[in-house]
Amino acid sequence: MSAGYGNRNGEGVVRPLAPDTKSKALRRLLRSPRVTRVAGANDGLSAVLAERNGFDAIWASGLGISAAHAVPDASILTMRELLDAATVMDAASSLPVIADCDTGFGEVNNVVRMVREYERAGIAAVCIEDKEFPKRNSFVEGHELVDMYEFAAKIEIATSSRDDPDFVVIARLESLIAGAGSEDAFRRACCYADAGADAVLVHSKQQAPDEVLEFAHAWHASGRTLPLVVVPTTYPAVTCADLEEAGISAVIYANQSLRAGVLAMDAALAAIARAGSTAPVEHDLCTVKEVFALIGMDEIDRNEERFAEAVQRARAAVEEEVGDAHHALS
Ligand code: SPV
Ligand code: MG
């Protein structure tokens, strides 16, 4: 978790920011020449696996968290449910968490509360998209974009509502998803950048990266330096090297671990149901010990040993002191 921040209203004790908060770390990653690799997660365990496999940051995926609740990714979950899930991921890993905040949970006052609550929880970044509430996942049909200037104003209010100047606000463009075209995407990106967004996520559902790479080319050619973020769900062949060459700052692998998990769980359960025993799947499963390692079971023993030693020390100290006093008194 990030260090605590000063009181929003300047009242009470204001603690200085720690030198290396997760938001600062994320900001540095986004500005580095290397593409930042972000893994989608939906709970603490998937966050741990992302970190273990060398990713730079975690995407608290709206789709992933919705799937974990077995509800549609369509603005069904509340902000609190998404925030609780992101907080679990943040606690489970030392990586910065970028929270998928859909459309910002409503109007401008909802956005202000969202920034305060996510920042207070130690989340490094929020990402909001320029679609109407309630929104649907980008890979189903039927998207309504909001007015570009109203969304830009939401971004401006979001950035001015943070206490931590490093807390990252990402503006997500859905023009290419909604079929509004690349000109609309470019105009909106400029508008959101001018409103103070810290990065622009340009989403696409094409099977090839062309429109995203063209967007990046036009962005840089216009002299813009604000970091670009992409989500290559539908164009999986694009490599980090391709993205780096195009000057894209971050890539979000939003749902691959979720989909891998669904496939593996479903296959194992089907095989067990068929066989009436778990024997056929045992070789496809990780061991219980491996699960223990991921969730830090060894720490339990270490803490209990430390506790026993501390009890021992406390007893010895008091007995020595009482023994000395007894000697002095007698
Ligand atoms: C999510 O992970 O919830 C996203 C990314 O918004 S995507 O599903 O690819 O649109
Ligand atoms: Mg989402």
Exposed e or buried b per residue across 145-154, where buried means at least 16 C-beta atoms within 10 angstroms of its C-beta: bbebeebbeb
User: How does DSSP assign 247-310, residue by residue?
Assistant: T--EEEE-SHHHHHHHHHHHHHHHHHHHHTSSGGGGGGSPPHHHHHHHTTHHHHHHHHHHHHHH
| Ligand index nearest the alpha carbon of residue 231 | 1
- Report the alpha-carbon distance of residue 172 to residue 186 in Å, rounded: 12
pLDDT, residue 40, reads 98
Could you give the percent of the chain with pLDDT greater than 70? Answer: 94
Q: Which atom of ligand 1 is nearest to the CA of 129?
A: 6
Measured in angstroms, how far is the CA atom of residue 230 from the centroid of ligand 1?
A: 11
**51, 28, 33, 37: which is closest to 239 by C-alpha?**
37
pLDDT, residue 324, reads 84
pLDDT, residue 3, reads 34
192-222 tens-digit pLDDT: 999 999 999 999 999 999 999 999 999 999 9
| Ligand index nearest the alpha carbon of residue 202 | 1
Query: CB under 6 Å to ligand 1: residues?
Result: 40, 61-64, 73, 100, 137-138, 231, 233, 254-255
3 state SS of 46: helix
Q: Which residue has the higher pLDDT, 46 or 7?
A: 46
| Ligand index nearest the alpha carbon of residue 259 | 1
The helix (H) or strand (E) run that includes residue 39 is: strand 36-41
Distance linking the first and last C-alpha atoms of the chain: 54
Could you give the percent of the chain with pLDDT greater than 90? Answer: 90
The helix (H) or strand (E) run that includes residue 55 is: none
Measured in angstroms, how far is the CA atom of residue 35 from the centroid of ligand 1?
A: 19
3 state SS of 154: helix
Q: Residue 327 — pLDDT band, cuts 50, 70, 90?
A: confident
pLDDT, residue 6, reads 29
Q: Which two tokens stand for residue 206?
A: 């094409």
Question: Considering the chain, what is the average pLDDT of its residues?
Answer: 93
Q: Residue 17 — pLDDT band, cuts 50, 70, 90?
A: very low
pLDDT, residue 98, reads 98
The answer on pLDDT for 281 being more than 50 is yes
pLDDT, residue 4, reads 33
pLDDT, residue 87, reads 98
C-beta of residue 136 within 8 angstroms of C-beta of residue 74: yes
DSSP 35: P
From 43, 46, 65, 73, the mutation candidate for ligand 1 (largest count of ligand atoms within 8 A of CB) is 73
Bond before 134 cis per omega within 30 degrees: yes
Measured in angstroms, how far is the CA atom of residue 100 from the centroid of ligand 1?
A: 8
Measured in angstroms, how far is the CA atom of residue 255 from the centroid of ligand 2?
A: 10
φ/ψ (deg, to 5) at 154: -60, -40
From 255, 256, 259, the mutation candidate for ligand 1 (largest count of ligand atoms within 8 A of CB) is 255
The answer on pLDDT for 189 being more than 50 is yes
Measured in angstroms, how far is the CA atom of residue 113 from the centroid of ligand 2?
A: 19
C-beta of residue 67 within 8 angstroms of C-beta of residue 106: no
31-59 tens-digit pLDDT: 999 999 999 999 999 999 999 999 999 99
**231, 258, 262: which is closest to 46 by C-alpha?**
258
- How large is the average pLDDT for residues 261-285? 97
In the chain, what's the furthest Cα-to-Cα distance? Answer: 94
C-beta of residue 146 within 8 angstroms of C-beta of residue 134: no
3-state DSSP helix/strand/coil % of the chain, to nearest 5: 50, 10, 40
Q: Is the pTM of this model over 0.95?
A: no
Q: CB neighbours (10 Å) of residue 112?
A: 17
116-168 tens-digit pLDDT: 999 999 999 999 999 999 999 999 998 899 999 999 999 999 999 999 999 99
Q: Residue 19 — pLDDT band, cuts 50, 70, 90?
A: low
**Annotated catalytic sites, by residue?**
73
Q: Which atom of ligand 1 is nearest to the CA of 61?
A: 2
Q: Which atom of ligand 1 is nearest to the CA of 233?
A: 9
Q: Residue 174 — pLDDT band, cuts 50, 70, 90?
A: very high
For ligand 1, atom 10, name the residue with the nearest CA: 138
Q: Which atom of ligand 1 is nearest to the CA of 231?
A: 9
For ligand 1, atom 5, name the residue with the nearest CA: 254
pLDDT, residue 15, reads 46
pLDDT, residue 323, reads 86
- How large is the average pLDDT for residues 288-313? 96
C-beta of residue 205 within 8 angstroms of C-beta of residue 177: yes
